[in-house]
A = this chain, B = another copy of it.
Amino acid sequence: MREVNIAVIGATGAVGMEFLRILEERQFPADHIRLTASQRSVGKRIPVRGQELVVQATGPESLEGVDIAFISATSRVSLEMGAAAVEAGALAIDDSSAFRMRPDVPLVVPEVNGEDVEWHQGIIAIPNCATTPLVMAAQPLHRHNPVSRIVASTYQSVSGAGGAAMTELREQTRGAFQGGAPPPQAQPHQIAFNVIPRIDDFGPDGYTKEETKVREETRKIMHSPGLAVAATCVRVPVYVSHSAAVHMEFQHPMDADEARGILAEAPGITVVDAPEEGLYPMPVDVGGTDDVYVGRIRKDTSHPNGLVMWVVADNLRKGAALNAIQIAEEVLKRDCLKPGGKAAVAAASQSLND
């Protein structure tokens, strides 16, 4: 595998820091690594692969000589740096929602639709951290027995809202014992000892943007524009790892044991499903690991062709940083660092309209 120069845009954020850890763990073939962040983090020193790297200010010059830019900052930074990357001939792998639904931008979970990296035009998007575990669990079953409907209720950790939300949960919780909790700022309401049925803003249809992302991104990644999807996205007082109670309906009846077997063999999935022994996935166990964990797989008593399951993944890793690095690995493996031609775009549009 060739070595590449990379830039990590937003290196000091919760996802950025995780990204650097995973880069080391996986010995990603990076030749030169540049770290950038917003003005207030400039000059910070971050140890990476035994070296101290100095954080620079994010700007178009961040992309000089760069092959791959990982972007995890604000949507505004993504829009600017994504365009700058295309201009500079670098590949942007972007963690924001800015590009995800654009027909010329592949939205990729390598285990699900790795082939889609081939038609990139300079930008590849990472799905929302609530979408990724869902498609990871659905696609292997879908290949076997088409999924016609997905209903998900999520239990999402505060790290999905960034480092400030993690600090806020800690300080609010401490305040419950010692007094003096600061008012909510990173979250719209108190999150300590509470659950908030709202992540991101509301659309006119009563769904939050987060819930709409889960629906639209699932359809795009699974190449199933007609798939019926509905989500309720809820914030819970957990630091890391998103969980979801998921109902799937299939074209034909689906046996729970069969589903368990299919998922156990699917790459990137660990089945933890021996409930009578107290074994099912939970955020405290899953945080810091790479796989999507599936448990509590059972027949849906309310639908003849349905299954219910419980899906948990580390939202900072598989939900964001790990998936980004896996996309880069997929690009290198398929040798498609440089954008494809118009044929690729046409193929992409077609696959989206299947």
Query: For A151, what are the chain B residues with a Cβ–Cβ distance below 8 Å?
Result: 151, 247, 300, 302
Task: Decide yes or no whether A42 CB sits under 8 A from chain B.
Answer: no
Cα A150 to Cα B302 with chains together (Å):
8
Among the listed stretches A108-116, A185-193, A332-340, which one makes contact with chain B, having 4 or more residues with CB under 8 Å of it? A185-193
Known: A245-B153, A256-B206, A296-B197. Is A190-B228 also a contact (CB below 8 A)? no
Query: For A174, what are the chain B residues with a Cβ–Cβ distance below 8 Å?
Result: 177
Query: For A208, what are the chain B residues with a Cβ–Cβ distance below 8 Å?
Result: 275
Per the 8 Å Cβ criterion, residues 229-254 of A in contact with B are 229-230, 232, 234, 236-239, 243, 245, 247
Number of residues on chain A facing chain B (CB within 8 A): 58
Cα A238 to Cα B191 with chains together (Å):
10
Query: For A176, what are the chain B residues with a Cβ–Cβ distance below 8 Å?
Result: 173
Task: Decide yes or no whether A284 CB sits under 8 A from chain B.
Answer: yes
Is A232 a contact of B296 with CB atoms below 8 Å? yes
In the assembled complex, the CB of A243 is this many whole angstroms from the nearest CB of chain B, namely 6
Task: Decide yes or no whether A44 CB sits under 8 A from chain B.
Answer: no
A147-184 CB contact bits vs B (8 Å, 1 = yes)? 00111010100000000000001000110110000000
Closest to A277 in B: B202
Per the 8 Å Cβ criterion, residues 285-344 of A in contact with B are 295-303, 306, 308, 310
Query: For A195, what are the chain B residues with a Cβ–Cβ distance below 8 Å?
Result: 155, 236, 238, 243, 282-283
Query: For A196, what are the chain B residues with a Cβ–Cβ distance below 8 Å?
Result: 282
Cα A194 to Cα B238 with chains together (Å):
5
Query: For A188, what are the chain B residues with a Cβ–Cβ distance below 8 Å?
Result: 278
Closest to A204 in B: B276
Is B301 a contact of A230 with CB atoms below 8 Å? yes
Task: Decide yes or no whether A280 CB sits under 8 A from chain B.
Answer: yes
Is B238 a contact of A198 with CB atoms below 8 Å? no
Per the 8 Å Cβ criterion, residues 112-156 of A in contact with B are 149-151, 153, 155
| CB-CB nearest 7 A-B residue pairs | A206-B298, A153-B153, A228-B302, A230-B302, A232-B245, A153-B245, A194-B284
- List 19 additional A-B contacts (Cβ < 8 Å) besides A193-B237, A193-B283, A228-B303: A149-B302, A151-B300, A155-B234, A173-B176, A173-B177, A177-B177, A188-B278, A189-B284, A193-B239, A195-B283, A196-B282, A197-B245, A208-B275, A229-B302, A230-B247, A230-B301, A230-B302, A234-B243, A234-B245
